[in-house]
């Protein structure tokens, strides 16, 4: 009769348990990996942003020397700086705009924004190369125009102003004109730097020219009141959600138009 050996019974089962554990670990890793990598890919891809520029070109060399070209460039720019847009000229000429508009910071704080755009269509065929230009934060670009590999002129690419309209209300609470109210529509066109121009059209039809800026979310406005003086107002931004839409509401104080005059004002986006 053979003698029972525990090791002969245990060893095969130990090997089986090890195989099962390894298989379970591999299945768990393979099951998680696709989800994790998909999450990384989704987080890394951002939707393209809409761009709207005004393009001015002055041709100084070649067969088009002395001519100018102006129009609008509207399209998208992705996170890598790739531009896909359409040019619509003031004279009806059109073209497809492709290339790159890449932003960055160079040593010593110098601008390191490269422009390389190709324009093709009824407008002709040319290339725009250059860098950021103008005041810091202006969003403007400039450089050279190339046709058939030869320098043909220069260009300026500037962001189109962003139009906005507000219901404006103000009341003078102190001063010579205490109790006077102003009500109307404030229409402005803002640059990328935040500076804006516009006008306040009162309910009685009077128009006051307006200028100002929107620093750090505030709204600073100057209204030129003909024959009376200048109204200078400052208002911080508050945010309200109305029917699921977010609106910026401005409520603040002002001085003017005469010395000693002052009061409160508000600007609510027009719907």
Secondary element (H or E) of residue 15: helix 6-44
Q: Would you say residue 95 has pLDDT above 70?
A: yes
pLDDT digits (tens, 9 = 90+) for 154-175: 999 988 888 889 999 999 999 9
Nearest to 216 by CA among 190, 237, 186: 237
In which band, very low, low, confident or very high, does the pLDDT at 1 lie, cut at 50, 70 and 90?
A: very low
DSSP 92: S
Per the CB < 8 A criterion, the answer to whether 54 and 157 are in contact is yes
Q: Would you say the CATH fold of 162-269 matches that of 49-159?
A: yes
Q: What is the pLDDT of residue 9?
A: 44
Which range has the worst mean pLDDT, 99-113, 175-189, 250-264? 99-113
Over pLDDT 70: what percentage of the chain? 78
Tens of pLDDT, residues 4-36: 444 444 455 445 455 445 555 554 544 454 454
pLDDT at res. 79: 85
Q: What is the pLDDT of residue 162?
A: 82
Could you tell me how many helices (H) and strands (E) the chain has, helices first? Answer: 1, 17
User: Can you give the pLDDT at residue 181?
Assistant: 94
- What does the pLDDT read at residue 113? 55
CB 44 within 8 A of CB 67: no
The region of weakest confidence among 74-83, 107-116, 262-271 is: 107-116
CB atoms within 10 A of CB 170: 22
Provide the pLDDT confidence category of residue 110 given band limits of 50, 70 and 90. Answer: very low
Domain boundaries, the chain: 7-45, 49-159, 162-269
Question: Is 43 a residue whose pLDDT tops 50?
Answer: no
Of these ranges, 26-40, 68-82, 103-117, the one predicted with the greatest mean pLDDT is 68-82
Q: Which of the two residues, 227 and 171, has the higher pLDDT score? A: 171
Q: Say yes or no to pLDDT of 107 above 70.
A: no
Mean pLDDT calculated for residue range 83-91: 90
Distances (CA, A) of 74 to 82, 84, 126, 150, 268: 13, 8, 17, 26, 28
pLDDT-derived band of residue 271, with 50, 70 and 90 as boundaries?
A: low
Per-chain mean pLDDT for the chain: 81
The alpha-carbon radius of gyration of the chain (Å, integer) is 32
CATH T-level topology, domain 162-269: Lipocalin (2.40.128)
Asked if pLDDT for residue 245 goes beyond 80, the answer is: no
Give yes or no for residue 178 having a pLDDT over 60: yes
Query: Whole-prediction pTM value?
Result: 0.57
Q: How far apart are CA 152 and CA 129, in angstroms?
A: 12
What is the CATH code of the structural domain delimited by 49-159?
Answer: 2.40.128
- Closest Cα to residue 84, out of 109, 111, 119, 108? 119
Higher pLDDT, 11 or 58: 58
Query: Cis omega (within 30 of 0) on the bond before 257?
Result: yes
Closest residue by Cα to residue 45 from 82, 99, 86: 82
């Amino acid at each position: 009769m053979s003698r029972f050996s525990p090791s002969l019974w245990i060893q095969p089962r130990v090997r089986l348990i090890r195989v099962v554990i390894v298989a379970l670990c591999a299945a768990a890793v393979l099951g998680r990996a696709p989800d994790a990598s998909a999450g990384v890919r989704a987080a890394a891809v951002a939707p393209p942003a809409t761009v709207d520029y005004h393009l001015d070109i002055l041709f100084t060399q070649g067969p088009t020397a002395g001519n100018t070209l102006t129009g609008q460039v509207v399209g998208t720019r992705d996170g890598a700086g790739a531009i896909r847009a359409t040019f619509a000229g003031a004279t009806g000429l059109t073209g497809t705009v492709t290339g790159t508009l890449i932003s960055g910071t160079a040593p010593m704080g110098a601008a390191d924004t490269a422009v390389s755009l190709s324009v093709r269509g009824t407008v002709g065929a040319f290339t725009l190369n250059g860098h950021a230009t103008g005041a810091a934060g202006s969003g403007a670009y400039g450089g050279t125009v190339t046709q058939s590999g030869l320098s043909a002129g220069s260009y300026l690419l500037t962001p189109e102003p962003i139009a906005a309209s507000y219901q404006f209300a103000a009341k003078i609470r102190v001063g010579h004109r205490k109790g006077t109210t102003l009500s109307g529509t404030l229409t402005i066109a803002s640059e990328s730097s935040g500076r804006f121009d516009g006008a306040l059209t009162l309910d009685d039809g009077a128009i006051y020219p307006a200028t100002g800026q929107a620093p750090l979310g505030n709204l600073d406005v100057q209204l030129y009141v003909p024959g009376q003086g200048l109204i200078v107002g400052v208002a911080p931004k508050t945010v309200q959600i109305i029917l699921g839409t977010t609106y910026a509401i401005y409520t603040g104080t002002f001085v003017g138009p005469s010395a000693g005059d002052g009061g409160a004002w508000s600007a609510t986006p027009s719907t």
